[in-house]
A and B are shown apart, each in its own frame.
Chain A
């Protein structure tokens, strides 16, 4: 194990996969000569050249479609969409083509693309640069959606996504690229399904993913130290398909659940996890599940207002205490 930053972990996965297979290439805006907005592709242009590290024009739907077409020949593109807010423009090709072509061709074609995109609310980027769009991608059959909460996952998920024959969307967080974490020294492929117990506990389950895992972990510490409540934190790094079994297992143990998401509540991860709990283990519950979500508004520019609409660890702690009637 060695410590590295989130962006370095991604860069290492690119480097290894492109070294391993000459048909892996990457594309995106400013990823080559400029080295990538968040440095995730730093040094690759110098090492692999312009044919495999392609600076694209600002044509999200076009270059995503181009990547999908290339993937029909089992050439493997890693497509970076500079910000998840811009991925709306690529959804036509991702949803209408990548997600459906294997099915509608009766299994004849595959679209083994990887699309990586940073999203979430950072620092005062305004309404059009603060979207959280995981809910949109995870609602579409035929796509895999994963989201790393630490450098180890960022590295291992990208490695598996490149080799997997399905189209995979990787949702990253703009605030997490400089986060440090342990990454195995040897090659590591992270599963694209399942979930991880980020912290074991017996009293309540906190479901998080991506940045909200960290809010959950922080809240769990406070709950343990100040309230004697042992929360289990489940990291839902796979958003589609969601880990039904893992969700049920934990809730059947703790009998209480709080789902924490950075996005607006409607049609989101929280709603989906609640539905699964309802369908699979309703009678295990000692209290109604609760979700902690963003306010249902576009993200404001003002710093104080911005912070107020996005949940944090204190909100998670408060929600848990409420579940326990405190």
Chain B
């Protein structure tokens, strides 16, 4: 990774941090409704993996904790914020919300709210790629607790059986809402669970974006070269509650303190300062620019956008004017 790329990545991760923190405030101000799941603490996962992918070409799918993945794939942060504000200029016109960010033109295939739901969808996207003989891959990001769904096992089995080009990335933040992994899951190391499907896997420190990038590069190379699915487990931690309605009272303070020291943004910043690639001053400026952009461009855009019109309600329930519905032909 050259210096320019590192600096850009640091900026992107810091942007993701500030974007999510601003969402928190907007939620408190009641500008954002419903469920809101934030990503601070886990930035190196999405950024390390997607930096190694070919965004806009490869397909990406994930859960409800989806803002940062969407933005890294190329979805305009203004359209994401407007979606959170439930406005017509939102990427899903205000019909999706925080858990359902989509950016299909960037091949960001969406955030889904049913835990484990995207496992088979990702395998299916990979099946589609295979049938079209493309060289894209599908990358599916999900949490650790999702691996206790049947869809995990069903999808891994089919992905291996049919040699599908899919990379499963497990963002292991040690919790499914308030239940710690060892209280819900017999085998705590998630990468070991896929060996029964003969799928290669790896487990790495998900707080170090360079390590994630390296591991993801290998994983993606494996999948893209036609060798079938791969499973990458990233050890991480979320710095906030599961969602805004979560008390976050179940985690030992000591555990939070230990993981708090492994802040992916701060760790990467300090490394770049140490190597002389940036200065403390550069970082401060970067941060100020980001805060300014979020306030003056992104929040303002979302604020000033229109409410969606009532006509939208009927528009997307079924596809409009499909000729085969009436037995006609195209």
A residues near B (Cβ < 8 Å) are 22-23, 25, 51-52, 54, 56-57, 59, 61-75, 92-93, 96-97, 101-110, 141-142, 144, 156, 160-161, 163-166, 189-193
A326 to B97 Cα, complex, angstroms = 58
Among B130, B162, B318: residue with most chain A CB under 10 A? B318
Q: Which 10 A-B pairs have the closest CB atoms?
A: A69-B124, A62-B154, A65-B120, A73-B128, A106-B92, A69-B121, A191-B327, A59-B154, A106-B93, A105-B102
> Of the candidates B100, B114, B327, which one forms a contact with A160 in the assembled complex, judged by CB atoms under 8 Å apart?
B327
Q: How far is the CA of A166 from the CA of B320 in the complex (A)?
A: 9
Shortest distance in angstroms between B33's beta carbon and chain A's nearest beta carbon?
Answer: 15
Inside 8 A of A62's CB, which chain B residues have their CB? 119-120, 123, 150-151, 154-155, 157-158
How many A-B residue pairs have C-beta atoms within 8 angstroms? Tell me. 181
- A62 to B120 CA separation, bound complex (whole angstroms): 5
The residue in chain B whose Cβ has the minimal distance to the Cβ of A65 is: B120
A61 B120 Cβ-Cβ under 8 A: yes
Q: Is the CB of B92 within 8 A of A61?
A: no
B109: nearest residue on chain A (CB-CB)? Answer: A72
Contact indicator A67/B124 (Cβ below 8 Å): yes
Whether A61 pairs with B319 at a CB distance below 8 angstroms is no
Interface residues on B, range: 35 or more
Across the interface, B93 reaches (CB within 8 A) one of A69, A107, A109, A164, namely A107
Q: For the complex, what is the distance from the CA of A105 to the CA of B126, rounded to whole Å?
A: 20
Measured CB to CB, the closest approach of chain B to A213, in angstroms, equals: 19
Answer yes or no: B326 CB below 8 A from chain A CBs. yes
8 pairs across A/B with beta carbons < 8 Å? A65-B117, A65-B155, A68-B120, A68-B121, A102-B319, A106-B312, A165-B319, A193-B326
Q: Chain A residues near B316: list those with CB within 8 A.
A: 102-103, 105-107
Query: Which of A57, A97, A102, A191 touches B326 (beta carbons < 8 Å)?
Result: A191
Residues B95 and A103 in contact, CB atoms below 8 Å apart: yes
Partner of B124, one of A52, A71, A156: A71
State the CA gap A189–B325 with chains docked (Å): 9
> Given A68-B124, A72-B109, A110-B319 in contact, is the A189-B93 Cβ separation under 8 Å?
no
Residues in B whose Cβ lies below 8 Å from that of A165 = 319, 322
Cα-based distance from A66 to B157 in the complex (angstroms):
12
* Beta-carbon contacts under 8 Å, B87-120 to A: 90-97, 100, 102-105, 109-110, 112-114, 117, 119-120
Instruction: Report how far A110 CA is from B319 CA in the complex, Å.
Output: 8
CA distance A6 to B321 in the complex (A): 30
Task: Tell me whether A160 and B325 are in contact (CB under 8 A).
Answer: yes
Residue on B with the closest CB to A63? B158
A142 and B114 CA atoms in complex are apart in Å by 17
Q: Are A106 and B124 in contact (CB under 8 A)?
A: no
B45-67 interface bits toward A, Cβ cutoff 8 Å, 1 = contact, 0 = none: 00000000000000001000000
Q: Is B212 an interface residue (CB 8 A)?
A: no
A101-B110 contact, Cβ under 8 Å, with A65-B124, A73-B128 = yes
Q: Which residue of B lies closest to A108 (CB)?
A: B104
Q: Which of B301-330 contact A (CB under 8 A)?
A: 312, 315-319, 322, 324-330
Partner of B324, one of A97, A107, A160: A160
* CB-CB nearest in chain A for B319: A165
- Complex Cα gap A101–B114 (Å): 13
How far apart are A245's CB and chain B's nearest CB, in angstroms? Answer: 13
Q: Which residues of B contact A102 (CB under 8 A)?
A: 316-319
Q: Are B317 and A141 in contact (CB under 8 A)?
A: yes
Q: Is the CB of B121 within 8 A of A65?
A: yes
Across the interface, do A69 and B122 meet the contact criterion of CB distance under 8 Å? yes
* Residues of chain B within 8 A of A23, CB atoms compared: 131-132
User: Which chain B residues border A103 with CB–CB below 8 Å?
Assistant: 95, 316-317
> In whole angstroms, what is the CA distance A107 to B322 when docked?
14
Q: Which residues of A contact B117 (CB under 8 A)?
A: 65, 92-93, 96-97
Tell me whether A192 and B325 are in contact (CB under 8 A). Answer: yes
Inter-chain contacts of A75 with B (CB < 8 A): 127-128, 131-132
How distant is the Cα of A164 from the Cα of B329 in the complex, in angstroms?
10
B188 within 8 A of A: no
- Contact of B327 (CB < 8 Å), options: A51, A68, A107, A190: A190
B161 at the A interface (CB under 8 A): yes
Report A-chain residues with C-beta under 8 Å of the C-beta of B138: 69
**A residues in contact with B325, CB < 8 Å:** 144, 160, 164, 166, 191-193
